Structure 1
Amino acid sequence: MAKRLNDNNSLSDVLKHIMQTNNLQKGMDKIDVRDAWANLMGNGVNNYTREIMLKNSTLYVELTSAVLREELSYGKDKIIKMLNEELGREVVTNLVLR
């Protein structure tokens, strides 16, 4: 039977417990990475971003501009660092630009 939480727990503690028991963190990471990319890269890059996909700890970003893809490839390490700082923990370890 599931562990019953007492009435004195905060809502954030209850939500964390639900996410842990139901293994929902991977799905939340996928959503959070998309939001972090949109916030960090701004409208200029987002206009050329077709798809963002997180598999394991690799972030795949499909871009419509070859010039932008080449430009972003020079700063992959910095982009990964900025994304992880935005997320508050290490979620992305590799970035693949397509």
Structure 2
Amino acid sequence: MAKRLSEESSISDVLKQFIDENKLQGGIDKIDVRDAWKNLMGNGVNNYTQEIMLKNDTLYVQLTSSVLREELSYGKEKIIKMINEELGREVVKNVVLR
């Protein structure tokens, strides 16, 4: 049975414990990374983005434009840094553009 929290626990502490106990952080990270990509890249890149997938610490992005893929490949380190700053912690360590 789950540990009972004291009456003075804040809602953020309760939610954090719930996420940790049920191992939900991985799924939340996948959604947060998709949202961060859409916010940071803007409409120009999002129009050519077909799929965004996070596996372990690698972000896979499928693009429909080979020209855009080549252009973004030069800034992979910057993309990683921007996404991790947006999320507030290190979630992405590598980016694969397909």
What TM-score comes out, normalization by structure 1 length? Answer: 0.98
- State the percentage of identical aligned residues: 78
Partner-residue secondary structure (3-state), 2:9: coil
CA distance in 1: counterparts of 2:47 and 2:56, whole angstroms: 26
CA-to-aligned-CA distance 1:42-88 (integer Å, 9 cap, x gap): 01100100000000000000000000000000000000000000010
Indicate the residue corresponding to 1:89 in structure 2. Answer: 89
Structure 2 distance, partners of 1:92, 1:45, is: 19
* 1:67 maps onto 2:67 in alignment: yes
Q: 1:6-62 deviations in whole A, cap 9, x for unaligned?
A: 121111111000000000000000000000000100011001000000000000000
In structure 2, distance between residues paired with 1:60 and 1:28: 16
Write the letter of the residue equivalent to 1:80: I
TM-score normalised by the chain length of structure 2: 0.98
Distance in structure 2 (CA, Å) of the matches to 1:82 and 1:53: 17
1:17 aligns with 2:2: no
Spell out structure 1 runs of 4+ moving beyond 2 A: none
**CA displacement at 1:2 relative to structure 2:** 1.4
Match of 2:33 in 1: 33
Question: For residue 56 of structure 1, what is the aligned residue in structure 2?
Answer: 56
Measure, in 2, the Cα distance between the counterparts of 1:16 and 1:91. 17
Q: Which runs of 5+ in 2 are unaligned?
A: none
Gapped regions of structure 1 (runs ≥ 5): none
The one-letter amino acid of 1:4's match is R
